Every structure is written in C-alpha cells, then in structure tokens.
Structure 1
C-alpha cells in the first residue's frame, strides 16, 4: 500500500507544477499583449514644437475671449449706427435680420476622441421670415452638444465634413420644424 501512495504523490505534484506553469505563461503573454496594444493605442507625446504651438493657440483663444468679453462689457459708444452694427464683422444687423439671417455665437468644444483636439464652429441660420432668437439659442445648444460626441475620424476629409454638415442640418430641421431653411458654415477649425 505504501507503494501506491508514493506513486500518487509525484503525479499530484507534477500536475500542480504544470498548472502553475500554464498560469504563469498565460499571465506573461497577457501582460505582453496588453503592453503592446497600450503602446499602439496611446497617443504619441507632443514634441516640444507641437507643445509650444498648442500653448500659443490656447493663449490666443484666451486673449480673444477676454477681448470679446471686455468689448461686450463696454457701454455703447456715441457713434451713429453703433447699435445696429454686428460686433464680429461690421455688417449691419438690420440687413441680415431683414433677410432672415441670424449669426450664432461661435461654438468651441473638445471632440469626443481624441479629447485633446477641439473644434471651433461659427454658423449662421437662414430663417423663413423673421429670425427667432430663442430658437436660435436652442439650436446653438443642440449643435454644441452634438459636437461633443463627434470624433476626429468622423469629420476627416471632404466626405467627413459633408456628413457633419448633413447631421447639423438635420438637427436644425428637427429643432426648427422647418423654419430654418439653411445652415451657413462661416468658420470650421479643428486643432
């Protein structure tokens, strides 16, 4: 009987050693695969030139926003026609409103992927009849929320830009119930 017990003991040890070895091999292969995929999917670090350009762009945006805020906070001047001028490009607001065109505030937001990229979009809406400012604000919010869900790959190239235009036009049509006939892209920047 002692011989049977001695023979069973080495088989159990050999089976346990093989199990531990198999687990160790699978763990090493899994860790190596994770490291490899992580290296492929992770964004490359910015070079010093790219980082400098990015910081300059951020500083420029902050300076523009501060200047716009200071300009909006300034009281109306005494010049004839100041109340009718558009702050952005000097076009008389009365002529654009008479034609049914309403310019939206610029939209600047991050893309969903990669999150370090952002998009700036300036739109104008062509209304049938008199422009509705409250509806335009809702459309502005809808477009801003939509842009936060867009990835860079979706808007690359001419086809991607056309898809973006179509998606925004569809959202505007739904929100305005047909009162907005066209969405005019004034500025489109991705960085």
Structure 2
C-alpha cells in the first residue's frame, strides 16, 4: 500500500497589494467627501457671520500698536495652572502710550489674570470675554488713550 501524502496547504490571507488598494480607495472616498462637504457648507464663508459686513478702513484701528511684555502668572482656580499671556494695545490716533503706561497696564492685566478661573477661559467665547475684560481695564487705566487690546498668544500649563 502506498501512503499518499496530503498536500493541502493552509488558506492564504489577503495580500498586501489588496490591502494597499483598499486603503487607497477609502482615502480617495474620504478626500472627495470632505471636498464636497466643504464646498457645500461654504467653509470659506463660514469665517464671516452672515449679518456682519467686512470691516472698512474707517472701522480699523489706526493708532500705534504697543506690544506688552509677556505676562506669566498663575490663575485663581486651580492655583497650579500657570498662564503666559502675550498681548498688545493699540493707542487711539494722536495718542502716545508711554513705557510707564504700558507697564501699568501690564501690571493691571497680571492682577486680573490672578482672579480668573480656568472655566472662564474655555473655548473661543471665553477668550473673547477675556479680551473684552482686558480692553475695559486698559481703557480705564489709560484714561481713554488705549483703543483696543490684542491677544497674540495665551498658553496654559
């Protein structure tokens, strides 16, 4: 009697070429869907709210920009969170912001940042409220010489 050998082999798994093909097709579908969705939603127009018109030259601040020294302080709640704020102020046209006034405004900003809690800084609305609060303090401290406050960087650790 002859012993016949069974030459059946284990089933083969998918090839690497098939895997690359599937990934490429899915990537193209995702890119096409993103492009269509972006066009439909008008992401370029989403930056401007519908009721708002573009700023004209008359509405843009025309005063000189004075950068403030970076402010590094901890906040009130939680106290182990540190904030670095880089901001600048815009003087009203015809007004000059002296170094002493800039230092006073920066000191006022530091004192204010020590009263802020972390929940107040959540999201874009929180940053906008912070900018508005800082602007109000700067206008009061400068007796109207400062027109606007810009926040260039806000880092929390």
User: Fold match, TM over 0.5?
Assistant: yes
Partner of 2:102: 136
Q: Which runs of 5+ in 2 are unaligned?
A: 1-62
Within the alignment, does 1:114 sit opposite 2:78 as a pair?
yes
2:90 paired residue among 121, 126, 141? 126
Contact 1:106 1:120 survives alignment (8 Å): yes
2:66 paired residue among 74, 78, 102? 102
Partner of 2:123: 157
Distance in 1 (alpha carbons) for counterparts of 2:80 and 2:113: 14
Q: CA deviation at 1:190?
A: 1.3
Greater relative CO (CA pairs within 8 A, separation 6+): 2
Distance in 2 (alpha carbons) for counterparts of 1:168 and 1:175: 10
Q: CA deviation at 1:131?
A: 2.4
Greater helix fraction, Structure 1 or Structure 2 = 1
Q: How does 1:40-189 map to 2 (within 5 A)?
A: 100-128=64-92, 129-189=95-155
Q: Which runs of 5+ in 1 are unaligned?
A: 1-98
Contact 2:73 2:83 survives alignment (8 Å): yes
**TM-score normalized by structure 2?**
0.56
Moved >4 Å (runs of 4+): none
Length, aligned pairs only? 93
